[in-house]
Amino acid sequence: MIPVRGVEGQNIAILGLGRSGLAAARAVQAGGGNPVCWDDGAAGRERAEAEGFEIRDIGRAGALDDVSLLVTSPGIPHLYPAPHRAIAAALEVGVPVDNDIGLFFRSLATSDWDQFETIPKVVAVTGSNGKSTTSALIAHLLAEAGRSVQLAGNIGRGVLDIDPPEDGGVVVIELSSYQTDLARSLTPDVAVFTNLSPDHLDRHGGYGGYFAAKRRLLAEGGPDRAVIGVDEPEGLFLAGQLSEGPADDRVIRVSSGRKLQGPGWSVFARKGFLSEYRKGRQVASIDLRQVKGLPGAHNHQNACAAYAVARTLGIAPRVIEAGLHSYQGLPHRSQVVGEKDGVVYVNDSKATNVDSAAQALQAFDRIRWICGGLEKEGGLEALHPHLGNVAKAYVIGREAEHFALGLGDGVECEICGTMEAAVARAMAEAQPGETVLLAPAAASFDQYDSFEKRGEDFMARVRAALDV
Annotated binding site for ATP: 127-133
Q: Which residues pair with 270 in a beta bridge?
A: 273
Half-sphere exposure of 179 (CA within 13 A, CB side): 25
Sign of CA dihedral 369, 374, 375, 377: negative
CA 292 – CA 282 distance, rounded (Å): 25
CA 239 – CA 245 distance, rounded (Å): 10
Rounded CA Rg of the chain: 23
SS (HEC) of 238-292: HHHHHCCCCCCCCEEEEEECCCCCCCCEEEEEECCEEEEEECCEEEEEEECCCCC
CA 191 – CA 126 distance, rounded (Å): 8
Give the β-pairing of 54-55 and 34-38.
Answer: parallel
Half-sphere exposure of 282 (CA within 13 A, CB side): 10
CA 107 – CA 184 distance, rounded (Å): 12
Query: 10 Å Cβ neighbour count for 338?
Result: 17
Q: Which amino acid is at 302?
A: N
CB 186 within 8 A of CB 192: no
Per the annotation, where are the binding residues?
A: 127-133
CA 139 – CA 381 distance, rounded (Å): 36
Residues in the chain: 468
Report angle CA 326, 226, 291 to the nearest 5 degrees: 20
CA 244 – CA 258 distance, rounded (Å): 23
Distances (CA, A) of 119 to 4, 83, 109, 113, 424: 19, 38, 9, 6, 54
CA 333 – CA 349 distance, rounded (Å): 7
